């Protein structure tokens, strides 16, 4: 990946980490704050006032000592923390709407710069499906691709095993140093030594159910395409496929027996238009026009996307009228931000600034597809 971003100072790195770990500030809020203010230190200073203007209590800002401790722990583990906007941050992940503010990288940090294909599937996969996943991963590696998966039992483990020698990326639902499932201790050592372990959560974080969907959107975000090998109708693999569709990635699936419940999800994807995969040639054909997704232009805090450009001065003043107009149109049912812009008859930057303040006050919930709702 080309180094297009200026290095940040140690002080700014600490400030970014503190902002990312502050309660109530998720990936989208972080990105908007970084676009709205000159740097993370300025954003941190403004957060209490922004929350107050929207009628809420200021979130608890992460302390400098906690940020220092997290950096020290990463250094002791041999891991690297990279923040959104740095050159080392994977550019494919930076391109997704809810890119994590901070990533922990343990292993070969350069791997995400390569074109990447995700292989995911059932934890209780059949022996034949595991063989297919491992063979596809090995052949993709020989063709110059990195292979991403979620480090779970079954298909994920087979995909990592097949791409260990060529480049595998294991995306964790917990901290990069937390081995889950526990029987993958040897695989963890191998991936950390030969591939890359990637996580958006701090080291030492135990994985919980709520973390796995977030992991899945990172697996697809890293990748030009996602290949599903055996998946039930309700499974994390189908969640990854849905994220891939939302992110504009290619969705592919290996067909399975209609008599096997483990194949119903993957077969369903094929009925819905996913590319059928019987071998690596099918993957290469499907990705022929979308390899560039693996290395989009990185987002930087210094040059935010137009949709997140700094709002006009009126949006930063003490005028509460925009907040009142936006808040009264919000309810428990998610609504598109574009619809709020139309109804409020205000510019998108002003509406987004008001939404940001309402979120910092703890009153807003964000949903996929740039939709928002009001919390009780």
Tokens of 309: 């450009």
Contact 162, 129 (CB under 8 A): no
Per cent of the chain over pLDDT 70 is: 89
HSE (CB half, 13 Å, CA atoms) of 122?
25
Domains of the chain, each with CATH number or no CATH: 10-104 (no CATH), 116-294 (3.40.50.450), 311-374 (1.10.10.10)
Contacts within 8 Å (CB) and 24+ apart, 69-72: 70/17, 70/21, 70/202, 70/203, 71/13, 71/14, 71/17
Strand partners, 277: none
Q: What is the pLDDT of residue 49?
A: 83
Q: Which tokens in the block code for residue 248?
A: 């504009």
Between CA 193 and CA 200, with CA 195 as vertex, the angle to 5 degrees is 105
For CA atoms 239, 244, 245, 250, the dihedral sign is negative
The number of beta carbons lying within 10 Å of the beta carbon of residue 208 is: 10
Q: Return the pLDDT at 265.
A: 95
**pTM for the full model?**
0.81
- Give the integer Cα–Cα distance in Å for 142 and 132: 15
Question: What pLDDT, in 10s, does the model give residues 178-199?
Answer: 999 999 999 999 999 999 999 9
Mean pLDDT of 276-287: 95
Q: Is the peptide bond preceding residue 262 cis, with omega within 30 degrees of 0?
A: no
Range 107-120 burial, b when 16+ CB lie within 10 A, else e: bbbebbbbbbbbbb
Q: Residue 6 has what pLDDT?
A: 65
Dist CA 148 CA 133 (whole Å):
12
The torsion region of residue 56 among left (phi > 0), alpha (psi -120 to 50) and beta comes to: beta
Per mean pLDDT, which range of 111-115, 263-267, 299-303 is the poorest?
A: 299-303
DSSP H stretches of helix in 54-126: 64-77, 91-94
User: At residue 300, does pLDDT exceed 60?
Assistant: no
Average pLDDT for residues 50-72, to the nearest whole number?
A: 85
Residue 291 has pLDDT above 70, yes or no: no
Q: Is beta strand 116-121 parallel, antiparallel or unpaired with respect to 102-107?
A: unpaired
Q: What angle do CA 154, 274, 209 make, to 5 degrees?
A: 45
Which pLDDT score is estimated for 348? 86
Report which secondary-structure segment, H or E, holds 242.
Answer: helix 236-246
Element (H, E) at 214: helix 211-222
Q: Higher-confidence residue: 299 or 225?
A: 225
Highest mean pLDDT, choosing among 15-24, 301-310, 318-327: 15-24
Split at pLDDT 50, 70, 90, the class of 320 is low
Give backbone dihedrals phi and psi of 373, rounded to 5 degrees, phi first: -145, 165
Average pLDDT over residues 253-258: 94
pLDDT at 55: 66
| Whole-number Å distance between alpha carbons of 30 and 299 | 13
- What span, in angstroms and rounded, lies between the C-alpha atoms of 39 and 158? 42
* Residue 319 confidence (pLDDT) above 70: no
pLDDT of 107: 97
pLDDT of residue 2: 32
Backbone angles phi and psi of 189, in degrees to 5? -65, -40
Instruction: Give the integer Cα–Cα distance in Å for 156 and 134.
Output: 9
Instruction: Return d(Cα 86, Cα 4) in angstroms, integer.
Output: 8
Q: In angstroms, how far is the first alpha carbon of the chain from the final one?
A: 44
- Smallest CA-to-CA distance from 113 within 94, 98, 100, 99 is with 94
Range from 30-39, 122-131, 165-174, 235-244 carrying the lowest mean pLDDT: 30-39
Q: Please state, in angstroms and as integers, the Cα–Cα distance from residue 283 to each residue in 156, 218, 221, following that order.
A: 18, 20, 17
Residue with the larger pLDDT of the pair 299 and 189: 189
Quick one: tokens of 241? 């496929």
């Amino acid at each position: 990946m080309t180094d297009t971003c200026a290095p940040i100072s140690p002080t700014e790195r600490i400030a970014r980490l503190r902002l990312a770990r502050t309660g109530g500030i998720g990936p989208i809020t972080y990105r908007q704050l970084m676009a709205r203010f000159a740097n993370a230190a300025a954003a941190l200073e403004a957060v209490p006032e922004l929350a107050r203007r929207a009628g809420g209590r200021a979130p608890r800002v992460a302390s400098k000592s906690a940020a220092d401790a997290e950096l020290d722990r990463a250094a002791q583990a041999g891991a690297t923390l990279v923040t959104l906007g740095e050159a080392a941050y994977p550019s494919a992940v930076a391109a997704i709407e809810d890119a994590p503010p901070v990533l922990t990288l343990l292993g070969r940090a350069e791997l995400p710069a390569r074109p990447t294909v995700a292989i995911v599937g059932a934890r209780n996969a059949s022996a034949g499906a595991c063989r297919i996943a491992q063979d596809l991963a090995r052949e993709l590696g020989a063709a110059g691709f990195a292979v991403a998966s979620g480090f779970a039992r079954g298909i994920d483990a087979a995909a990592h095993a097949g791409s260990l020698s060529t480049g595998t990326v294991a995306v964790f639902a917990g901290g990069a140093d937390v081995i889950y499932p526990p029987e993958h201790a040897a695989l963890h050592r191998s991936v950390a030594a030969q591939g890359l372990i990637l996580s958006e959560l701090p080291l030492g974080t135990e994985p919980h159910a709520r973390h796995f969907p977030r992991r899945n959107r990172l697996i697809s975000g890293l990748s030009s395409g996602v290949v599903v090998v055996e998946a039930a109708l309700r499974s994390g693999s189908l969640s990854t496929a849905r994220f891939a569709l939302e992110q504009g990635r290619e969705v592919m699936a290996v067909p399975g027996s209609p008599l096997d419940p483990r194949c119903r999800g993957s077969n369903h994807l094929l009925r819905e238009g996913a590319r059928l995969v019987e071998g690596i040639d099918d993957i290469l054909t499907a990705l022929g026009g979308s390899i560039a997704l693996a290395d989009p232009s990185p987002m930087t805090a210094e040059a935010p996307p137009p949709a997140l450009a700094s709002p006009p001065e009126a949006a930063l003043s003490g005028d509460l009228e925009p907040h009142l107009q936006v808040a009264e149109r919000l309810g428990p049912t998610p609504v598109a931000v574009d619809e709020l812009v139309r109804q409020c008859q205000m510019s998108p930057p002003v509406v987004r600034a008001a939404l940001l303040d309402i979120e910092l006050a703890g009153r807003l919930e964000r949903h996929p597809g740039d939709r928002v709702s009001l919390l009780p």
